[in-house]
Structures are given as C-alpha cells and as structure tokens.
Structure 1
Amino acid sequence: MTWQKHLPFKMCFIVWRALRDKIPTDARISQMNIANPSRCICCKNPDTENVNHLFNAGDYAFQLWKHIGGPFGINVEQSFYRQILINWWKIKAPNPVINILVKCIPIATSWEIWRTRCAAKYGNEPINFNNSVCLISFSVLQVIKNQFNNFQGNHSWNKVIYLNSCNINFKKTFTVSWLKPPVNFVKLNSDGSCKEGRCGGGGVIRNHQGHLVHAYTVKAGAGTNNLAEALALLHGIRWCIAVEHK
C-alpha cells in the first residue's frame, strides 16, 4: 500500500522511510551522537521530535489527521502512525474513486506533514493548516482527474468530501470484437452449457472473409458445463480435420 503509482515517488518514499525510522528527525540524528536539541517545530509546546510524534502525536499532525480522517470515519485518538495508515487502507471502498481516495490521502497527508515541518524548520515558512489541507486535496484530486476523464470541479477539500459521500455508480465497459483469421485459414468458435443435468453445445466456423463455412450443434447428454464445452470444441476440430481446413 505504501507505493501508489499514481502519486509522485517522493510522497511514497517518505512514507516508506518513516515506517522504517529512516528520516532525519531530531531523535534519529541524536542516535548518531550528533548534538541536537530535540524540539518539534510543529507544536505549541515543543516535545521530542521522533517519527510517531512528528507524523501522529504532535499538535499539527494530530489536528491534520483528525480533520482529514473525520469524513472517512478514521479515529486518530490514541493511535500510532503505522496504525493510522492501516486504518485508512482497511477501508472497504464501494467504487474505484473512493478506492483511490483512501489509498492516496494518507500518503499525501504524510508528505504534507514532512514538507511543512522542513519548510518551517529550514525555510522559516509559517505553518498554515488551511494551506496544507488545500495541497493534500489538490494532490489527491489530481490523481482522480488523471484516472477519470469525466471528473469535473475544483480541487478543494469539499470536493473530496462530496466524492466520499455521493453514490457513484461506476461501470467499466470493454469493446470485444471478432478478428478474422489469416487467408486460407478458418476460425472455430464454440460453446457449451448444462442445465438440469442435460448438456449440449455448438459452434460456428468462418473463413478469412468472415463468411460462415459451417455451423453445428452437439447433444452431450448428462454431464457438466466443462464436458459440454469440451465436446462442442472437439466436434468442431474433428470437422475441420475431416474437410482438411486449417
């Protein structure tokens, strides 16, 4: 679930690193015997900055997860960062749109927490809660737009909430066409079925122009669907061999 091909690699990579405690938080740097006072810049009352605090328990992260997860029924109270991700990914999506939302939102949110932390710590950029929500919304809805050409509307958080609450009837259609065989060849199409113990099948044979060469039916007697299909296919092959068709 960590790797979502529709999102930028950097977002998925930061989640992968965070889950393995491989990002340079203050606590991680201190483990390398580098003098570094640990003060989470995202909190009003700074605490030790480790992965779980930065991505979950800290003031900014907790409020962001609470706001983002509320409409989806995600409880962030007394949870660890890993558990929050699992709660998102365990949601049973009723359609492909919500499936993308519940897989991409936690990754986009994690990235935004890390981006905000670094921008505030090293770029003196003020922490802006509303701006973070907008950036998360934009990232996720851009994925929806790329996947579904008929997506319309702005990239606001209200649009995300709307997509989660509305009843989307999604039907995927496929075009199936019959392909003509090569010149001097024929194509055999057969099928069989069984109902109440009585089985039968049939088939049609066409030439390279699509013209009907032969059609047949087969009574298979008692049996199964698989037996009826096999006998129908076998009858067609035998006929082709008998009349020397390729």
Structure 2
Amino acid sequence: MEVPISCLLCDDGTENVIHVLRDCGSARSFWDSFPPPIPTAVFYGTNLIDWLRLNCGSTKRCVSTNLNWGTVFSFGIWSLWLRRNGVLFRGERPNRNVREEVISKATEFVYVGINGKKTQTHQKIWVRWQCPSLNWCKVNSDGSALGNLGRAGGGGLIRNDKGEWVRGYARAIGSTTSVAAELWALRDGIRLCIALKIPAVVFELDAKLVVELLQKGEDHPNGIGALVSDCKAGLQEIPLVQIQHCYREANKCADTLARRGALLAQDFVILLEPPLEVAFLLRLDSVGASYERLIPSCSSGS
C-alpha cells in the first residue's frame, strides 16, 4: 500500500509523527480545546522527544477536566494516532469526538486503574442474587463493550419482591467506553421504572465506578457528564430509591441482556417475557444459586 506523504487530515505539510500528534491543524485544535497547563510556546515549540517527556511526565492538573495532565495527554496522543490510522488504512471519516473519547478513557483509567489499591491476600466468599424488600422492585443493569470503544450494548431487568420477572430491556449503543455503556443501561432501567410508575426501586449494578459517580454531588465535565446527569435526574422522579453495587456473579441476567443488546439490529427493545437464556439464569437466582468469588482481604476494590 502506498502511504501519502502529505497529511490526509489537513493536506498541509509533510506528515510525520510530530505533525500527526501536534502540528496538524486538527491536532492543534484538539489540544487547544483543553488547553494544556503548559505555556503555549513551550508546548508547540519543543522537539518530539522532549515534548513527549514533558507532557507524559506532567503532574499538573488539566483545569477543564480536573484530571492529571499526564494522563489526559497520554490518551490524547494515542487517540490521535488511532484516528490517523483509521483514516489512512480503513478509509474512515475523521472522528469529531476525539476530545470526548479521550476524557472518558482518562476518567475510567483514573477511577479503575490509579485508584485501585493493591492487595496481598484474598478470601473466598459466596455470592448470590437477593430479592428486594417487601413491596420493592429491583433493577439489575449492565453494559457490555467488546473492547474499550468497541461495539457496545446495554441491558437489564426488573424483578419484584418475589424475584419474579416484571420487564426486561436491551439496547444497541454503538462504539463507546465500558463506563458509558453501564450508564446507558442504568438510564434505560430508570426510565422504564418511571414509565411503569414503580414507587420503590433498588438499582443494582456491578460497576462500582458508576455507583460512585452517582453518589457524588459534583459535576462531570467530560464525555459521560450528560449520562450521569440524566441518571441523577431520573432517580429523583422515583419516590423511593436505593442504588448499590453487586458482584458480577450476582448480575448474570443483566450481563446476558447487555450482550444481547450489543448484537441487536434495532436500537432498543423492551422484553415482556425473559429470553430463553435469561429464563434459565432467573431460575437459578430464584432458588438461591451461589457462586464462588475471591475478594481482597483488606481493600476497597470491586
């Protein structure tokens, strides 16, 4: 394959690594949208190696995202490089949402990666799905992304206080992050409960990050901010609400529906009856089937 010498994104200047990652007009617009917590003359005036070292090793905060600049920058250069390769080798249109994707990936990394605590020992526990309290319903939701920013789906189900199926749902989301997929699935469950006028609901999901995001009062000025805000607004429309984390072993029905969502031909479906593969898992939950799990002995990890 013949690789063009000039940049396919701006058609201005010889394409090399520093041009793709910084000097291309589209790359510069991307960086200026933050902007970097580094003097402009320094950011755009250093050679490639010094530029990478200066920014990747930065411990300054990016004001617009409240994230470490070194983290945002690292995901930024990776996403710009992937965008260039998609245009050049797969004929894709330039992604206009690079900034949103970078912030979503950086946010997820900070919560799941940097904030995770190392553990030395583990203990074995038994995990099972539990019915909600009398006159309450429980929503289990889950998101499924086939690789980060891969084809994603969401799904979930509502059960009554006897563990009986009320409704299920599944959604094809498209290309997004795993955190965004979890939020999509939760939002669909919230909206379905509102439509059904269910007065008391426990929302249970296996994404601890999403539970933490909803329990915090701060805004999220990044790619998932709108989804978080929608979920919070919807929860306020339900008279009695609890939201809690569960282990994935207790979320098997929702996981199956989320995977089903990723393969849907249509955008969204509401299921009046459980699909065959979910009906089997429902039966296991109803009889109290338990699953072994190893958890850290002294950790806040999920």
TM-score by length of 2: 0.34
Higher helix share: 1
Give the TM-score of the pair, scaled to structure 1.
0.40
Larger radius of gyration: 1
Identify the structure with the greater strand proportion: 2
Greater relative contact order (CA < 8 Å, ≥ 6 in sequence) = 2
